[in-house]
Amino acid sequence: DGGITQSPKYLFRKEGQNVTLSCEQNLNHDAMYWYRQDPGQGLRLIYYSQIVNDFQKGDIAEGYSVSREKKESFPLTVTSAQKNPTAFYLCASSTDTDTQYFGPGTRLTVL
């Protein structure tokens, strides 16, 4: 089946800890995106990548880092510098400038 997978579904982080969220797609899409979703708010763009080995900051990149070593993978690291990381994180991919397809999300909670 083609699609986007995110893991884990739930993640708990202690104060001062870095955690990495996985995003994999087998849709052969060039572009991939990371969004953060908070209750009552729309999706806010963290980072995006249009091509392998290249990525750009989105609107709320501070405290996050990414890599794009393979076309299929776009992991997101939430660093200890992110002061309020509790949120629902969504990964998306697209083949062009139009439709983005989303993964099932990872819910991150800070303990």
Partner 1 sequence: QQQVKQSPQSLIVQKGGISIINCAYENTAFDYFPWYQQFPGKGPALLIAIRPDVSEKKEGRFTISFNKSAKQFSLHIMDSQPGDSATYFCAASSLDSWGKFQFGAGTQVVVTP
- Told to check if 75 binds partner 1 by CB under 8 A, we report no
Pairwise CA distance, residues 43 & 36, whole Å: 6
Cβ at position 34, least distance to partner 1 in Å: 12
Token pair 């993978």 in the structure block, residue: 73
From 14, 41, 54, 84, residue interacting with partner 1 (rule: CB under 8 A): 41
Asked if 90 touches partner 1 (CB under 8 A), the answer is yes
Asked if 58 touches partner 1 (CB under 8 A), the answer is yes
> Which residues are within 8 A (CB) of 40 and not within 5 positions of it... i.e. 6 or more apart?
none
By C-beta, is 57 or 70 nearer to partner 1?
Answer: 57
Are 24 and 32 spatial neighbours (Cβ–Cβ below 8 Å)?
Answer: no
Contact 4/24 with Cβ under 8 angstroms? yes
Distance CA 64, CA 76 (A): 7
Using the rule CB under 8 A, which residue among 25, 34, 68, 94 binds partner 1? 94
Using CB under 8 A, list all residues that contact partner 1: 4, 6, 31, 33, 40-45, 48, 50, 58, 90, 92, 94, 96-105, 107
